[in-house]
C-alpha cells in the first residue's frame, strides 16, 4: 500500500537506528503518546533497534483505555433499556464495566451494534425511527470531528431519536498533567500524528517552552517513529526544546480548519476524568449548549461514579508510563486478552495487548 509500505523499509530503519546511536551520548527517556505508535514500536521491535541508552515509555494515548468505568456502566445501563439501540466502535465491546461488558449485554439480548463510522449510527437512527439510537462517542481529537459531524447532521435533519454518550479527551492537557506529576521521567515526547492532523501543533509550542521538553509530531510507521526519535534525541543532546513536525506529509501547523470549525460548533472544552490519571482540567469535550439535546446524559441521566476499576489491575501505572506491561505480575498469567483484568489488555491500542500479542512472556524477546 502506497504511503505505508515504503515507511517499513528495513535498510532505512537500520540507517536511522545507526544515526540515533551515533548522536546518543547519555540516557534519555522518551514517551510516545499514542497507542497506535506503541503498537508499531512493539510490533516492529523498534525499541530493540535503539541504543540501550534510549528508553521509550508508553503513554496514555488509548481513548478506550482512559474512558472512566462509569461511562461503560452508563452505556450498559442505556443498552439494557427497551427500544434502545446502542452503537459503538468495536474497541469498546469487550471493555469491562463494573459488572459486565457490552459484548455480554448483547449476548443477553441488548441491541448493541458495532459501527465503523459514527455516520453509520446516523443511518441506524434513520432506519429505526421508533427506537432511541445512542452512539458511544469515544476518542481523541482525531475522532472528534467525525463524532461532531454525526451530531451536526442529526440536528440538520431533525433526527430526534439520535443521541451521543460523549467521552472525548484531548492530548495536550494530558501531556501537561504527565509533566507536572511528581517523579516524572519523560524528557521528550513523540506527539500523536493523527491527532495533530486535526489540531495542528501550535498548542504544543508553549508546553515545549515552559517545560523544556522537545515534542516531535510523529507518524505511525517504523521510519516515522525512528525519525521522530532521532529528532527528539538530537534536540535533547543539544539542549533544545522545540516542537518539530516529523509527519509533514499529513500534518500542517494550523491543522484542519474545517474539522476544527465543526468540532468547535458542536463541542466545548470540559474537565474530564481519565482512568489512570484522575481529573484533568480542560482535558475533554462535551456537547455545547446548542447541541445539548443530543446528549445521551440529558436523555438517560448523567454519568456518575468512579473512573477506576477496583481490583489488582495495574493498568493505571501502565497508562502513566510508570511500569511496562510485562512488569505487571498478572501479565500473561492471570490477565490475557481472553480474560482481561483491565482495559489496557482489551483495547486494540492498549499497551498490555501490544505486549501480549508481540512479546509473549514465553517468546520473551523484550530487552532486560
Partner 1 sequence: MCLAVPGRVISIEGDDPLTRQGRVDFGGIVKPVNLAYVPDVREQDYVLVHVGFAITIVDPHEAERVFHYLECLETLEQEADELEPGRPVPQ
* 60 to 32, 177, 182, 253: CA distances (angstroms): 9, 11, 17, 23
Residues 282-293 as b or e (16 or more Cβ within 10 Å = b): ebbbbbbeebee
Residue 255 CB, shortest distance to partner 1, in Å, is: 9
| 248 contacts partner 1 (rule: CB under 8 A) | yes
Q: Does residue number 16 form part of the binding site for partner 1 (CB under 8 A)?
A: yes
Q: Which stretch binds partner 1 (CB under 8 A): 2-10, 279-287, 309-317, 320-328?
A: 2-10
Q: How far is the CB of 248 from partner 1 (least distance, A)?
A: 4
User: 501537561: which residue's cell?
Assistant: 176
**What's the distance, Cα to Cα, between the start and end of the chain in Å?**
35
Q: Strand 188-192 relative to strand 215-218: parallel, antiparallel, unpaired?
A: parallel
State the minimum distance, in angstroms, from the CB of residue 49 to partner 1: 14
User: Within 13 Å, how many C-alpha atoms sit on residue 14's CB side?
Assistant: 2
Task: Give CA angle at 365 (352, 29), nearest 5°.
Answer: 65
Q: How far is the CB of 50 from partner 1 (least distance, A)?
A: 13
Shortest reach from residue 356's CB to partner 1, in Å: 18
311 binding partner 1? (CB under 8 A) = no
Task: Report which secondary-structure segment, H or E, holds 273.
Answer: strand 267-274
Judge contact between 171 and 33, C-beta under 8 A. Answer: yes
Coil, helix or strand at residue 1: coil
290 near partner 1 (CB under 8 A): no
What backbone torsions phi and psi does residue 107 show, to the nearest 5 degrees? -65, -30
Does 308 engage in binding with partner 1 (CB under 8 A)? no
Torsion 275-279-285-289 (CA) sign: positive
Regarding 142 and contact with partner 1 (CB under 8 A), the answer is yes
DSSP, residue by residue, 106-117: HHTT-EEEE-SS
Identify which range of 42-50, 189-197, 305-313, 323-331 contacts partner 1 by CB under 8 A.
189-197
Instruction: Give yes or no for a contact between 70 and 303, defined as CB atoms under 8 angstroms apart.
Output: yes
Residue 62 is a binding residue for partner 1 (CB under 8 A): yes
Instruction: Tell me the closest approach of the beta carbon of residue 359 to partner 1, in angstroms.
Output: 20
Element (H, E) at 246: none
Q: How far is the CB of 82 from partner 1 (least distance, A)?
A: 29
Which cell numbers in the block locate residue 195?
491527532
Q: Which of residues 42-61 bind partner 1 (CB under 8 A)?
A: 51, 61
Q: Any idea how long the chain is?
A: 368
Residue 12 lies near partner 1 (rule: CB under 8 A): yes
CB of 66 to partner 1, least distance (A): 11
Return the number of the residue (175 or 330) whose C-beta is nearest partner 1: 175
Cα–Cα distance measured from residue 240 to residue 236, given in angstroms and rounded to the nearest whole number: 6
Tell which one of 2, 130, 310, 339 touches partner 1 (CB under 8 A). Answer: 2
Binding-site string for partner 1 from residue 193 to residue 212, where x marks contact by CB under 8 A and - marks none: -xx-xx--------------
Binding residue for partner 1, selected from 160, 212, 240, 258, defined by CB under 8 A: 258
Count, residues near partner 1 per rule CB under 8 A: 64
**Stretch of residues binding partner 1 (CB under 8 A), selected from 13-21, 42-50, 205-213, 356-364:** 13-21
Q: How far out from the chain centre does Cα 146 lie? A: 15
The answer to the question of residue 192 lying near partner 1 (CB under 8 A) is yes
Q: How far is the CB of 141 from partner 1 (least distance, A)?
A: 8
Applying CB under 8 A, among 10, 25, 212, 292 the residue interacting with partner 1 is 25
Task: Give the β-pairing of 267-274 and 278-287.
Answer: antiparallel
Residues in contact with partner 1 by CB under 8 A are: 1-4, 6-7, 12, 15-16, 19, 21-25, 34-36, 51, 61-64, 89, 91, 116-120, 138-140, 142-143, 145-146, 149, 152-153, 156, 192, 194-195, 197-198, 220, 223-224, 227, 230, 246, 248-252, 256, 258-259, 262, 347-349
Amino acid at each position: 500500500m502506497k504511503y505505508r509500505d515504503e515507511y517499513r523499509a528495513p535498510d532505512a530503519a537500520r540507517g536511522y537506528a545507526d544515526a540515533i546511536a551515533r548522536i546518543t551520548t547519555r540516557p534519555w527517556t522518551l514517551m510516545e503518546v499514542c497507542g497506535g505508535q506503541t503498537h508499531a514500536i512493539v510490533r516492529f521491535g523498534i525499541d530493540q533497534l535503539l541504543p540501550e541508552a534510549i528508553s521509550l515509555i508508553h503513554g496514555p494515548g488509548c481513548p478506550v483505555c482512559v474512558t472512566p468505568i462509569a461511562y461503560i456502566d452508563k452505556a450498559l445501563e442505556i443498552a439494557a433499556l427497551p427500544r434502545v439501540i446502542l452503537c459503538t466502535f468495536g474497541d469498546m465491546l469487550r471493555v469491562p464495566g463494573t459488572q459486565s461488558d457490552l459484548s455480554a449485554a448483547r449476548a443477553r439480548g441488548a441491541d448493541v451494534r458495532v459501527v465503523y463510522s459514527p455516520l453509520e449510527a446516523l443511518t441506524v437512527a434513520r432506519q429505526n425511527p421508533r427506537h432511541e439510537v445512542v452512539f458511544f462517542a469515544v476518542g481523541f481529537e482525531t475522532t472528534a470531528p467525525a463524532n461532531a459531524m454525526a451530531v451536526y447532521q442529526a440536528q440538520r435533519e431533525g433526527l430526534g431519536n439520535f443521541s451521543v454518550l460523549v467521552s472525548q479527551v484531548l492530548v495536550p492537557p494530558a501531556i501537561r498533567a504527565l509533566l507536572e506529576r511528581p517523579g516524572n521521567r519523560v524528557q521528550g515526547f513523540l506527539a500523536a500524528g493523527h491527532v495533530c492532523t486535526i489540531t495542528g501543533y501550535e498548542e504544543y509550542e508553549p508546553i515545549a517552552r515552559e517545560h523544556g521538553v522537545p515534542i516531535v509530531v510523529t507518524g505511525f510507521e517504523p521510519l516515522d517513529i525512528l525519525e521522530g526519535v532521532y529528532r527528539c534525541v538530537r534536540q535533547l543532546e543539544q539542549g533544545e526544546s522545540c516542537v518539530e513536525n516529523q509527519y509533514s506529509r499529513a500534518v500542517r501547523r494550523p491543522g484542519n480548519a474545517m474539522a476544527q470549525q465543526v468540532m468547535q460548533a458542536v463541542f466545548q472544552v470540559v474537565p474530564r476524568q481519565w482512568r489512570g490519571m484522575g481529573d484533568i482540567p480542560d482535558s475533554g469535550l462535551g456537547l455545547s449548549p446548542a447541541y445539548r439535546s443530543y446528549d445521551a446524559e440529558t436523555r438517560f441521566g448523567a454519568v456518575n461514579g468512579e473512573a477506576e476499576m477496583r481490583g489488582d489491575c495495574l493498568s493505571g501505572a501502565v497508562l502513566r508510563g510508570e511500569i511496562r506491561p510485562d512488569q505487571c505480575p498478572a501479565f500473561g498469567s492471570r490477565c490475557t486478552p481472553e480474560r482481561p483484568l483491565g482495559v489496557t489488555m482489551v483495547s486494540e491500542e492498549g499497551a498490555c495487548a501490544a505486549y501480549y500479542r508481540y512479546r509473549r512472556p514465553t517468546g520473551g524477546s523484550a530487552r532486560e
